[in-house]
């Protein structure tokens, strides 16, 4: 099957076949990243704009490199240094980019649903690079690619997602994607950071972190945003680390060949110990490489010649 | 155009004919390169790959030397990507040897417009700088759109543009022959 969507807004609406197509396409893309000359002429004459209303290192750089490796032209906009500061609306910014001939807009926005809103305003392809607490599809796809690369499959694996599930778009996208691909997803974290409806997405909630980690094949550690503590959602970073932090002792509860992933940037000593983060089970650096490969795959699939049929 | 919309018009080669043509090409590769030192074969996905592997085996049988075989996927180098409604599936390029300084023989099943070979040449140049690149094809059916020619040809087959050449290999198609198809 081919790719028939105009945009990539989330994993909720993707089928298992579509997810597999992205992951399969990322395999040859990764081979290009390993070459001395990291460039193919595939997207020559295409252009991509990154429109970021929040800070980012990995995602933004990764998208820019992905586009450049495929010979697309890129332009980067930050809300802080653009007309957004003059009060320009998201729709008008999108229309402006579209009028300049941009083929793909990669958007990160603090409001859930922003990517979908923009996709409805402009004919250019829209890629959601994180919208509020809703979804971060490319992060989940690169997580799944990393897991599949190491384990050979996703079906039947036990994956524990640990941390602030309530505010995490990474967790949501991972749950949608992993469950569709046949993995068993467990979630654990402070009760104050656990949304009440999460089990309806197909994940199983564990109140005890140790129990959640028992025999899992993958531990996906979420970044704890330090301001959550200021909001009183958990008493202290130290307590968080003690109750939910992934350390060597907790790692021993997992399957013998379990892997640890983290979307980055890490808070060493809070959600993850340095010993684990830089240990042999950690694939955190590999995730970054795979992020470029997966985004190359997405850009390739989304920039088909004719306007793709299905709007979202 | 799907194969189901086509009917078989004539058989060009049977399994014996295909084998003879490939063995001859193996001999010609050895002769032209004065042996196989520094020679490597690169099959263009899909059907160029088993053909390259067969050539390597014949060369090994004749010369007693194993030549490396690489696999090239040219999808990312196609010149028609922006005109296709759906992007074709990309597969992996697997060239596990340095191409710089090598005498490369590109292998494909059918040479037609030459656009696939053009894309393959671009793909190879991104991997390194070979000393020489030669082209081996099982069938040359003419109708070139760019100035490209084969160094080694199994069989020249004059065709009309409406016809389709179908090379069927045991490894992929579970049968071994070359046929001309025409629209029903």
pLDDT in tens, A243-301: 999 999 999 999 999 999 999 999 999 999 999 999 999 999 999 999 999 999 999 99
Residues of A in contact with B90 (CB under 8 A): 25, 28-29, 297, 300
Residues B136 and B43: their CA atoms lie apart, in Å, by 10
pLDDT in tens, A175-220: 999 999 999 999 999 999 999 989 999 999 999 999 999 999 999 9
Nearest to A301 among B73, B87, B94 (CB): B87
Q: How many residues does chain A have?
A: 312
Burial B38-69 (b: 16+ CB within 10 A, else e): ebbbbbbbebbbbbbebbbebbeeebeeebbb
What pLDDT is recorded for position A78? 81
Pick one of 3.40.50.150, 3.40.50.1370, 3.40.50.720, 3.40.120.10 as the CATH number of A16-135+289-303. 3.40.50.1370
Q: H or E stretch including A22?
A: helix A16-33
Residues A284 and A278: their CA atoms lie apart, in Å, by 8
The tokens for B105 are 């023989």
Is A58 labelled a binding residue? yes
Long-range Cβ contact pairs of A78-81 (< 8 A, separation 24 or more):
A78/A52, A79/A51, A79/A52, A79/A53
Domain boundaries, chain A: 16-135+289-303, 137-283
Nearest to B86 among A3, A35, A46 (CB): A3
pTM: 0.92
The angle formed by the CA atoms of residues A167, A170 and A175, to the nearest 5 degrees, is 100
Q: Is A137-283 assigned to CATH 3.40.50.1370?
A: yes
Residues of A in contact with B80 (CB under 8 A): 305
Beta-carbon contacts of residue A216 (< 8 Å; ≥ 6 apart) = A158, A159, A160, A186, A254, A255, A258
Sites in chain B below the pLDDT cut of 70: 1-3
**Bridge partner residues of A126 (DSSP):** A105
Taking CA–CA distances from B76, the nearest residue in chain A reads A42
Nearest to B122 among A28, A36, A41 (CB): A41
Decide: B92 and B73 in contact? Cβ < 8 Å: yes
- Using a CB–CB cut-off of 8 Å, the residues of A that contact B are 2-4, 21, 24-25, 27-29, 31-32, 35-37, 39-42, 45-46, 70, 297, 300-301, 303-306, 308
Decide: A205 and A185 in contact? Cβ < 8 Å: no
Cα Rg of chain B, angstroms: 16
Helix (H, G, I), strand (E, B) or coil at A81: helix
Say if residue A4's pLDDT is above 70: yes
What pLDDT is recorded for position B3? 67
Residues A194 and A205: their CA atoms lie apart, in Å, by 8
């Amino acid at each position: 099957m081919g790719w028939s969507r105009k945009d990539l807004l989330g994993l909720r609406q993707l089928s298992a076949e579509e997810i597999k197509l992205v992951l399969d396409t990322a395999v040859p893309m990764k081979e290009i990243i390993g070459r001395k000359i990291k460039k193919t002429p595939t997207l020559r004459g295409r252009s991509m704009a990154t429109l970021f209303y929040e800070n980012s290192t990995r995602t933004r750089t990764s998208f820019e490199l992905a586009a450049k490796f495929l010979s697309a032209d890129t332009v980067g906009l930050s809300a802080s240094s653009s007309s957004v500061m003059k009060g320009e609306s998201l729709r008008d910014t999108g229309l402006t980019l579209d009028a300049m001939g941009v083929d793909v807009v990669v958007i990160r926005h603090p409001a859930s649903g922003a990517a979908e809103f923009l996709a409805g305003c402009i004919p250019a392809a829209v890629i959601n690079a994180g919208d509020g607490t809703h979804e971060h599809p490319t992060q989940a796809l690169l997580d799944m690619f990393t897991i599949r690369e190491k384990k050979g499959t996703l079906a039947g694996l036990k994956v524990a997602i640990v941390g602030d599930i309530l505010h995490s778009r990474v967790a949501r996208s991972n749950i949608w994607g992993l469950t569709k691909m046949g993995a068993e997803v467990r979630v654990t974290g402070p009760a104050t950071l656990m949304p009440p409806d999460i089990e309806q997405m197909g994940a199983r909630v564990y109140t005890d972190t140790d129990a959640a980690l028992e025999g899992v094949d993958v531990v996906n550690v979420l970044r704890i945003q330090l301001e959550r503590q200021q909001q009183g959602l958990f008493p202290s970073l130290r307590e968080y680390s003690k109750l939910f932090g992934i350390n060597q002792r907790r790692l021993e509860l997992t399957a013998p060949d379990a892997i640890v992933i983290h979307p980055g940037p890490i808070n060493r000593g809070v959600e993850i110990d340095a010993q684990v983060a830089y240990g042999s089970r950690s694939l955190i650096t590999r995730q970054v490489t795979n992020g470029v490969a997966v985004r190359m795959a997405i850009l390739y699939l989304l920039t088909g010649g004719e306007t793709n049929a299905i709007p979202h | 155009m799907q194969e189901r919309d086509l009917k078989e018009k004539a058989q060009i080669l049977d399994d014996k004919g295909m084998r003879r043509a490939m063995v001859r090409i193996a001999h010609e590769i050895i002769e032209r390169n004065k042996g196989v030192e520094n020679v490597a074969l690169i099959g263009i996905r899909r059907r160029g790959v088993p053909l390259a592997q067969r050539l390597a085996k014949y060369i090994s049988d004749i010369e007693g030397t194993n030549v490396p075989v690489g696999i090239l996927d040219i999808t990312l180098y196609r010149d028609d990507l922006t005109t296709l409604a759906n992007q074709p599936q990309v597969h992996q390029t697997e060239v596990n040897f340095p191409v710089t300084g090598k005498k490369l023989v590109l292998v494909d099943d059918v040479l037609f417009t030459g656009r696939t070979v053009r894309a393959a040449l671009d793909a190879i140049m991104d991997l390194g700088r070979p000393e020489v690149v030669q082209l081996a094809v099982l069938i040359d059916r003419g109708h070139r759109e760019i100035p490209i020619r084969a160094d080694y040809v199994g069989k020249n087959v004059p065709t009309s543009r409406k016809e389709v050449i179908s090379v069927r290999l045991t490894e992929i198609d579970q049968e071994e022959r070359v046929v001309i198809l025409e629209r029903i």
